[in-house]
Structure formats: C-alpha cells, structure tokens
Amino acid sequence: MIEYIKNFFRVIWFSFIELYSLRRGSRKLKKWIKKNKREQDPNLHPFSKRWKYIYKKMRQFNRRAGIKIKVVGEENIPNGSAWVVPNHTSNLDGFYLIEALGAKLELTSVARSGVKQSKLTQGYFLGSDSFYLNRANIRESLTVLTQTAQYVKKNNRGVIIFPEGTRSFTTDLLEFKCGGFKFPQKYAIPILPITVLGTLQAKRFFRLKYREVKVIVHKPIKPIQHIKLPTDILCKNIGNTIKKELDKYEKNLSPKELKYFLKLKRKASIKQQKKDAKLNKEIEKSLEGATENKNDK
C-alpha cells in the first residue's frame, strides 16, 4: 500500500514537473557550450563537469519515471575508449545506458540529425559532444563515423552507436548495419556489446509500480580479437550474442509476465509497420532526388 502511495505522488511529479526539469537541464548545458565557444575556453565548463551533470540528470529522470536499472556484467565496462553497440528498442535507451555505464565510462553518441531540434534533449547531446548522422547521405555519414572514431580514440571515451540504425518497437532484433564496425577495426577501439531488456514494459510511465530495465554488459571485444576478423563475421557474431539474451529473456518470463509482454508486443507491431512504411517512402524520395540530380548533370 505504501509503495502505491509513493508511486501515485511520483506519477504526479513526473507528469507536471519532471519534463520541465529535463528541459531546464538541456538549456543549462546549451548555455555552458555557448559560453565555452564565446570565451574560446573549453575549460570553463569542461567535458568532465558536463558529463557529471548529464549522468545525474539521467539517473534522476529514470528514478522519477519509475524505472530501476539493473546492470549485469558491470565488471566488463572498460576504463578507456569503447565502441558501445546495444540493441535499440526505445527513445530512452540512451537514458538507461548513461545510468548503467556512466559512473565508469564517459560517453558520447552518434544520433540522427533530427534530434538537434528536440528542446528536451538537445543540450544533452551537445553537452556530451555527440555526432549527427544524415542517413540520406552515405558519404557524409562515413565522414561523421571517421570523426567519431578519432574522437573516441583521442579522448578515451565511449560512443553509443546503435547498429540496427533505428528503433525496433517490438524489441525483436533488426538487421545490423555492418559498415559501422569497420571504424573500431580501423582505429583499434574495443567493441562493447550491450543487451537492453525490459524496455517495452518500462514505457508504461504511469503505472503505480516500478519497472525494471536490465542492461547486460557483455565482455568487450579487444582490438587484437577483431582487427583481422572479416567485418560481416564480426557483425554477425555480435548480433547473435545480443539475440541470444533477448530470446533467453522471453523464455524466462512467468506465464503472467509473458502474456502482458506479448500483448504489448502486438500493439508495438502496428507502430513498427507504420514506421517501416514511412522509412521506405523516405528512401524512395532520396533515391528519386539522387536520380534527378544525375539527370540534371
């Protein structure tokens, strides 16, 4: 009963205050970045200071959203640079990963260019020195990934990059974009596979109970283990490692939990179909535009 009362007030706080608090934090980080540029002194608000603030805000948000992060394999988190490759099932995957890894590993990320417009999270991406991909421009994307690998290697940081390239609403693992694995191979960066579980249930923010998101940190693949390995085989092996944990998670659910999980999955599949159709239209448009440009030339 006490837990329900606590969660009732937590939901009220989350509904009316937390999103404002998140946005305010985003504005604060943007001001720090602007001041660094204006004064031409990155030491005014250095990365370490910004990272501590981001880590604190992400943990705060997860707690007030009613989400508990359980980390399995915490000892596998490296101290230096890492190419972090998790499955991608929620807009909040970055929030979960920052809380799970952020105490040991400073992180940046590779995100789609559209997140620049979000007032809620824009400052957090800027504050963590994130890189932005334009998925319609392959050449530009390769340049961005090269810059990312050089940054990670130079600064001994981790980078979160989702090899699926987009979210899976149903939590089923989508096909990996294997080209992204060439960069840690080229720059000798350890690869850290991550499996994130429980995100489908975690989206129910207004339930009067806490939900658990499990983050499984697999053993890092050292450069000596992957540099000479064909990229497609490396990609397939990492995909199999993550898929194995996803399958195991579903099998270990109780009958009641499994029934609820499958119900959420059916609803999510409708969203997935709509998203896939929209993505296909965008690809068709970009191809048509490229063809028209060639014809004009």
Average pLDDT over residues 89-115: 93
Q: Which residues pair with 224 in a beta bridge?
A: none
CA distance 251 to 202: 19
Q: Tens digit of pLDDT for each residue in 163-183?
A: 998 899 999 999 999 999 999
* Tens digit of each residue's pLDDT (9 = 90 or more) over 116-146: 888 899 999 999 999 998 877 788 889 999 9
- Beta-strand relationship, 191-197 and 211-217: antiparallel
- pLDDT for 296 equals 57
pLDDT for residue 290 is more than 90: no
3-state secondary structure of 73: coil
pLDDT above 90: percentage of residues in the chain = 72
- Check pLDDT > 60 for residue 189: yes
pLDDT at 201 over 60: yes
Per-residue pLDDT at 297 exceeds 60: no
Whether residue 199 is predicted with pLDDT greater than 90 in this model: the reply is: yes
Q: Is the pTM of this model over 0.85?
A: yes
- E-only strand ranges, the chain: 67-72, 82-86, 107-112, 131-133, 158-160, 191-197, 211-217
Query: In this model, does residue 191 exceed pLDDT 70?
Result: yes
